[in-house]
Each structure stands twice: as structure tokens, then as C-alpha cells.
Amino acid sequence: MSECFRVENLSYSYPTEEGAAPHRALDHISFSVEEGSFVAILGHNGSGKSTLAKMLSLILFPDEGSVWLRGRNMSTDDITEEDVLRARREVGMAFQNPDNQIVATVVEEDVAFGPENLGLPPEEIRRRVDEALAMVGMTEYARHAPHKLSGGQKQRVAIAGIIAMRRSCIIFDESTAMLDPVGRREVMDIIEKLNREEHITVLHITHYMTEAVRADRVIVMDRGHILMDGTPREVFSQPEKLWAAHLDVPQTTELLYAMRQHGLDVQLDIFDPDECASEIAAAISRR
């Protein structure tokens, strides 16, 4: 498999008022992401996860180190605006607040906004818009006004707008954070589908453990560093480490951990409630 992203020794500090010590949002971070994978980036507020997303989508540029996109270094001095634009055709970004990413007053026109910017012929735009709306299950709302939709629906429209541009990689910057549980589930299902069925590389930035569990790989960030990096099973079987970074663990892991503390012989890396129940039942019967 080839490499989609690579960051090397990445550092970034937000400009601060004079006299104040600069706050280092990212501190010498290195990792790479394979094409077609589903990576969740977890972290507490201020851990640098959103800054990282902005680096990868070329909204911010690093102070030190480099961002590589498909084998191309995007952090050298000779990167022109055109190179950035070309890169943006490959990397899509969905933001936290759906209200602030919808441009048009009609759902389908908003989905068409990206393809229109690419200068595609009208029939092609039409085809992509219909396809994208069908993929997020919003076809029946095509002619609706966005402000009358629910948060989850708005976010789905925003995602359709990215799908319609046929990006091979999409970064979701806390796209589920402002949604209610129903909306969150809808959006998560779409994100998962995009990765599994359309083979789009997904970077999902979140602070919900239940969402991170659905990824292939979890990167945990803490104060600008990478704290842990591995499969969900590897990461969540070390609850003490996560708690130390002020993060929760999935409820099943928390329960199993507490049971293990009391001497019950159970595995920690189980995230499905039913599996968790049978694991506990099996452990009790073993006693």
C-alpha cells in the first residue's frame, strides 16, 4: 500500500501576544498514514489535534518539519499557491460547525459548489451532486433550504459537498462534536461507509471513544505529542495511560477494567456491549 500522508518532525506554535511564552500546539510529531486507511485522532482539548488537521489540509503551515502528501513535500519554500490548490483537490476537510461551511441557500446548490469551483461541465456536476446526495441519504432534501435541516442533516449535506469533489482523502475535524447522538450516528455511518466502500482515506478527529473504536488505527495526542499509536484494541487496553491524558475509555473497557481490578479474569479490548456481556459471563462461570 502506498502512503497518503507523512509528517516529519512537525512543530507549530500559535502566535501569541508579546511577552507571553509561545504555546506549542505541535511538538516534533512524526507519523504516516497509508492510502485507504481509517485513522482516528483522539485528544483532549488543546492536545493539538485540530492544529494537526489544519496542517494536513494545508490551511496552516508548519514552523518546523514537513508535511508530505502522496510523496510530495508540501512544506518547502518553493510550494506555490497552485500546488496548494492542486493538493486541495485531493484532500477534503469537513469542519465542526455545519452552519459555517454551507454556502448556498439550496441543498443541491451547496453540494454543487465544490464541483463548480473545479470548472466541471454542468451535466457532470449534476451527476456528481445526485450521486453524493444519494450516498449521504439526503436525496429527498435536494431542494430544501439548509437552515431548516437538523444538525446531523446539515453535516451530511456538508459531507456530500466534499464527496461530490471526489477527493481520495477526507479529514473530519470534529465533525460530530456539535451533533446530537442521532446525528452523530448518522454521520459516523457515512464516514465508515466512505472508507469501507469507496476506499477513501479517512482521518477522523474526535474526542468520542465510541467513534475512535470504529477506526483501523487510533492516534492519541496529548499536549502536542503523540501519546499512543496503534489499533483500537492496543490503545484501549491501556486505560491508565488514557486516563492520565484526561481521556475516557469506552464504557465496556471501563467496566471490564473495574472487574479486573476486583480479580475477575477478563480481556479489556472488547467494545461491543453484547461481546462484553458474554466475556463477563464466561469469566464468572470460569470461577
Partner 1 sequence: MNLDITFGQYCEGDSVIHRMDPRAKIIAVLLYIVVIFLAKSFAAFGLLTAAAVVLVLLSGIRPRIILHGLKPLMFILLFTVVLNIFFIKGTTLLFEWAFIHVYLEGVFNALLIALRIVLLLVSTSVLMTYTTTPIALTDGLEQLLSPLKRIHIPVHEFSMMMTIALRFIPTLIEETEKIMNAQKARGADFSTGSLIQRARALIPILVPLFISAFRRADELATAMECRCYTGGEGRTRMNVLHAHARDVIACIGICLLGAGVVLLNRFGAYMLSW
Give the list of residues 6+ apart from residue 156 with CB closer than 8 angstroms, or none.
Answer: 136, 137, 138, 186, 187, 190
46: its cell numbers? 488543546
In contact, 150 and 99? CB cutoff 8 Å: no
d(CA 98, CA 95): 7
Q: Which of residues 138-157 bind partner 1 (CB under 8 A)?
A: 145-147
Stretch of 124-132, 214-222, 232-240, 268-276 contacting partner 1, by CB under 8 A: 124-132
Q: Which of 13, 63, 120, 269 binds partner 1 (CB under 8 A)?
A: 120
Least distance CB 72 / partner 1 (angstroms) = 18
Stretch of 15-23, 44-52, 101-109, 195-203 contacting partner 1, by CB under 8 A: 101-109
Q: Which of 119, 263, 274, 286 binds partner 1 (CB under 8 A)?
A: 119
Nearer to partner 1, 203 or 256 (CB): 203
Nearer to partner 1, 111 or 247 (CB): 111
Least distance CB 274 / partner 1 (angstroms) = 39
Q: Which of 15, 19, 121, 263 binds partner 1 (CB under 8 A)?
A: 121
Residues in the chain, total = 287
Q: How many residues bind partner 1 (CB under 8 A)?
A: 39
73 binds partner 1 (CB under 8 A): no
CB-CB neighbours of 282 under 10 Å: 12
Nearer to partner 1, 95 or 141 (CB): 95
Q: Which of 24, 44, 70, 126 binds partner 1 (CB under 8 A)?
A: 126
d(CA 4, CA 201): 8
- β-sheet with 169-173: strand ranges across: 91-94, 169-173, 201-206, 38-43, 217-222, 225-230
45: its cell numbers? 482539548
Stretch of 159-167, 201-209, 240-248, 277-285 contacting partner 1, by CB under 8 A: 159-167
Q: Which of 4, 75, 108, 256 binds partner 1 (CB under 8 A)?
A: 108
Nearer to partner 1, 8 or 109 (CB): 109
Residues forming beta bridges with residue 91, ordered by sequence position: 169
Nearer to partner 1, 163 or 249 (CB): 163
Q: Which of residues 220-249 bind partner 1 (CB under 8 A)?
A: none
Phi, psi angle pair for 224, to nearest 5°: 80, 0
Report the b/e string of 135-173 with b at 16+ CB within 10 A.
bbebbebbebebeebebbbbbbbbbbbbbbbbbbbbbbb
CB-CB neighbours of 273 under 10 Å: 11
Sites of contact with partner 1 (CB under 8 A) = 57, 59, 85, 88-89, 92-93, 95, 97, 99-106, 108-109, 112-122, 125-126, 129, 145-147, 161-162, 165
